Structure 1
């Protein structure tokens, strides 16, 4: 079981420009929400730990997770509305996000809610803006502290400065997480936004010195970099794909990477530290193929195991 922590929300897309306004299309989303579904579609049992509202949006989010086979029994149900995020795509399909609402269900996750979570999960994934807004950020730190050494700790900062514009909060969250993280997935865009003076490889060295076992940097069309303390940075080129948009691409990569590691009995810190170059390349290729499929269709429509080819 992989516990996925963070927000479930609705992404709202413009769907037509009219004289007196816009038509809008609302779709279930949120990086951890997508990741939990991606894991389930790839055959890895997942449990979602994030606030789910009782409003019509929250009910749809809960039904979607359950329908995909994600365990939601431990998800808190606070008396707060669902967060809505406006997604504006540029001509290349790259999204920009604007959050509407702050006193929302995704943030209203308290320390008492942790009692519902099992302590024997194989892995715990945290990330996105729930690591920098309260009270949920403190709750997730408490969970990481509880599970450190029991479960593999995976972290994807997934920086969204349009949602939380204070860069220092993101930097502080990453500084706290690096010494307790086993698997770090971060984009080169995240690094550039927070550490403009650090090249991706320099940030990878910093993360490894801080205690991370495996660092993966996704670089969009430039491919992927990955390294462990024992393996020098490995570069994997990007796959050629006709991009519709990149919504959910990073979530897909992380879901595919975690599911691959789980399927091959490598979802432990010791296994990550012992990775050889061939095993790491195979895991990254699987994750890259999955992300490319998501980029080929609109929105965060993550692939199923049979689409990515499970026999690698």
Structure 2
């Protein structure tokens, strides 16, 4: 099983474009979301077993998130039922049509995961995927570092920063936390936007990846939207192009790429530190191509509607 830990939240889309709407209330749409949440059900849709480790509120939104995960085949037996409220991301659309985001995550269920909430025996877990803003929240951040440290010797640790600067009050603290996790990681999956946010627009992507490989990571994958993705590994550097697609929106594209990466390795019996260390360039090219095709499917649909294994295989045959 691939165990995913991080946030499950509600994206609340609110239309503020018409000021007259304030008189009678504002139309809103609540959607289940969060990068690790998407990753967990995406892995399941792509034919691999997944589980969710994190705080899920006992409030109405939390019950909705739990039910959605279970409906998607995600094991939530390790999730903690929390008395804290469900975190929310308010997405407001203004008169110019552009969205703005306001996060409400402090002291919410996402933070509510302490070391004692994580079972020591994780038999049957082949990989642990960690990421997003819970990395620098407490107590979950410290809990995830401890989990990665003790589990890295026997299963794959995959990290995706999904960095949102508006949720990171202290970037130096984020660097310390993330660099510490890289030492225990087998896979680091990042976007070009993550690197720009963390290291500046003039950052050298290859140099950043080289530092992570030297620190202990075995595989670094950098996604760049329509421009494709690049893998950095001891066997060399491999780049695949983006897939041509009519884009509806890009919500969940990065989560889809990560899900396809891990699910493909799991289905092929290659989700282990030993297997990843032995990859050649052809292995990396095939892996990245499959993940890019999966992400393109999500971009062709509204919202984080990640593909099934059948849809992915059909798209690969047509490619």
TM bin, normalised by shorter chain, reads over 0.9
Aligned to 2:239: 235
Q: What are the ranges of 5 or more consecutive residues in structure 2 without an aligned counterpart?
A: none
Aligned to 1:209: 214
Shift of 1:96: 5.7
CA contact (8 A) 2:248 2:300 kept: yes
CA contact (8 A) 1:128 1:156 kept: yes
Instruction: From the superposition, tell whether residues 90 and 147 of structure 1 become closer, same or farther in structure 2 (CA, over 3 Å).
Output: farther
Aligned to 2:21: 20
Return 33-42 or 165-174, whichever deviates more. Answer: 165-174
Aligned to 2:81: 77
Aligned to 1:285: 289
Return 93-102 or 147-156, whichever deviates more. Answer: 93-102
CA contact (8 A) 2:245 2:296 kept: yes
Shift of 1:264: 1.3
Shift of 1:99: 0.6
- Aligned counterparts, 1:121-270, within 5 A: 121-196=125-200, 197-231=202-236, 233-270=237-274
Give the root-mean-square deviation of aligned CA atoms: 2.0
TM-score by length of 1: 0.94
CA contact (8 A) 2:221 2:231 kept: yes
Shift of 1:188: 0.8
TM-score by length of 2: 0.92
Return 197-206 or 214-223, whichever deviates more. Answer: 197-206
Structure of larger gyration radius: 2
- Aligned counterparts, 1:2-13, within 5 A: 2-13=2-13
Q: Partner of 1:177: helix, strand, or coil?
A: helix
Q: Partner of 2:166: helix, strand, or coil?
A: coil
1 CA distance for matches of 2:98 and 2:273? Answer: 33
Shift of 1:88: 5.3
Shift of 1:166: 2.3
Q: Which 4+ runs in 1 deviate beyond 4 A?
A: 88-91, 93-96
2 CA distance for matches of 1:113 and 1:271? Answer: 31
CA contact (8 A) 1:155 1:184 kept: yes
Deviations 1:169-203 (A, max 9, x none): 22112210111100110011111111124221111
- 2:103 is the alignment partner of 1:99: yes
- 2:299 is the alignment partner of 1:295: yes
Shift of 1:117: 6.1
Q: What are the ranges of 5 or more consecutive residues in structure 1 without an aligned counterpart?
A: none
CA contact (8 A) 2:155 2:272 kept: yes
CA contact (8 A) 2:232 2:238 kept: yes
- 2:32 is the alignment partner of 1:31: no
Instruction: From the superposition, tell whether residues 96 and 248 of structure 1 become closer, same or farther in structure 2 (CA, over 3 Å).
Output: farther
1 CA distance for matches of 2:101 and 2:123? Answer: 34
CA contact (8 A) 2:15 2:92 kept: no
CA contact (8 A) 1:224 1:238 kept: yes
Q: Partner of 1:286: helix, strand, or coil?
A: helix
